[in-house]
Amino acid sequence: MRSDARPIGFLDSGVGGLTVIKEFVRQLPNESYLFIGDQARMPYGPRPAEQVQQFAWQLTQFLLQFDVKMVVFACNTATAEALPLIRKLVDIPIVGVIPPGVRAAIRATRNGHIGVIGTVGTIRSHAYDGAIQAQAPEIEVSTLAAPKFVPVVESNQYHSPVAKKIVAETLQQLPDKDIDTLVLGCTHYPLLRPLIQNYMGKHVTLIDSGAETVSEISALLDYFDIRNLEHGPQSAPKLFTTGSPKMFGEIAEDWLRMTDLPVTKVNVTDLPAANGKEMVS
């Protein structure tokens, strides 16, 4: 075993990926991390796939500047629409949030009825239902786009009565009333978890694909022998946003229960260019 102190880079369209960071810090306290949220261009969900690929590639290149040892797509939309392409372009491990969520959902269901909620882009990609049915054809999967969830989180209203109303109005559209497992197929949704659990009832298991992803990150750190074996992170966390550092910091501090988190603004125009040439698959 050798020790690799390099940080891990996380990207998301906004603050949602912080739900992955929360679990990452808990499970892997010796690892350092960087995070970039592309709030200026969120939400990614309704955008065309090509644009999501271009944005995710810009964020990946931004993270690579910091000598990261792994990049985590802490964003379901980017995982569904851009990860397979970008994995071919870099020589460090790229981890997405969807396969761990798929595995966890298949393990969790008892009656074989799984529901998936996600952004328009994630649902349109069929990344979850396609993978679940490929691995376990006997399982019935129903999906629902929940386009109002990301904006309510990003506007820091996820504790509000408005959020409760939006959650109820959205989830009542779930087509299969028999599901016993619901995949939170967007990293923003765990911030709404208490409201979602309350609406669904205790008998429904919520799958937080972000938490599951950290188990995969841990496995890959061992597999590639790139774990940090020193005690504690060897560099302080760095948080970046293309939007407002103030609002990003408020949500980050509330969610991670940490204070004085340094948040740096990065202008979209200062991100590495993605001219599309290298993106041709």
Q: What is the distance between the alpha carbons of residues 211 and 125, in angstroms, rounded to a whole number?
A: 22
To the nearest whole angstrom, how small is the minimum distance from the Cβ of residue 182 to a copy of itself? 21
Q: What is the distance between the alpha carbons of residues 235 and 31, in angstroms, rounded to a whole number?
A: 9
- Identify whether 106 is a catalytic site residue: no
- Total number of residues that touch a copy of itself (CB under 8 A): 26
Cβ 136 vs Cβ 102: under 8 Å: no
Q: Which is nearer to a copy of itself, 84 or 151 (CB)?
A: 84
Q: Interior CA angle at 259 toward 264 and 61, to 5°?
A: 30
Half-sphere exposure of 235 (CA within 13 A, CB side): 15
- Single out the residue of 99, 115, 210, 249 in contact with a copy of itself (rule: CB under 8 A): 99
Write the interaction track for a copy of itself spanning residues 211-250; mark x where CB under 8 A is met and - where it is not: ----xx-xxx-xx---x-x-x-------------------
Q: What is the distance between the alpha carbons of residues 16 and 19, in angstroms, rounded to a whole number?
A: 6
Residue 89 binds to a copy of itself (criterion: CB under 8 A): no
- Single out the residue of 78, 131, 200, 263 in contact with a copy of itself (rule: CB under 8 A): 131
Residue 93 binds to a copy of itself (criterion: CB under 8 A): yes
* Residue 44 counted as an annotated binding residue: yes
To the nearest whole angstrom, how small is the minimum distance from the Cβ of residue 84 to a copy of itself? 8
Q: What is the distance between the alpha carbons of residues 28 and 232, in angstroms, rounded to a whole number?
A: 9
DSSP character at residue 246? H
Write the interaction track for a copy of itself spanning residues 180-199; mark x where CB under 8 A is met and - where it is not: --------------------
Residue 88 binds to a copy of itself (criterion: CB under 8 A): no
Name the catalytic one among 11, 15, 36, 75.
75
To the nearest whole angstrom, how small is the minimum distance from the Cβ of residue 242 to a copy of itself? 29
Give the position of tokens 């041709």. 280
Residue 30 binds to a copy of itself (criterion: CB under 8 A): yes
| Residue 265: other Cβ atoms inside 10 A | 15
* Residue 187 counted as an annotated binding residue: yes
Residue 130 binds to a copy of itself (criterion: CB under 8 A): yes
* Residue 228 counted as an annotated binding residue: no
- Identify whether 201 is a catalytic site residue: no
Residue 107 binds to a copy of itself (criterion: CB under 8 A): yes
* Residue 13 counted as an annotated binding residue: yes
Q: What is the distance between the alpha carbons of residues 123 and 115, in angstroms, rounded to a whole number?
A: 11
Structure tokens at 170: 């959205």
Cβ 16 vs Cβ 72: under 8 Å: no
Give the position of tokens 């009832």. 201
Q: Looking at the annotation, which residues are catalytic? A: 75, 186
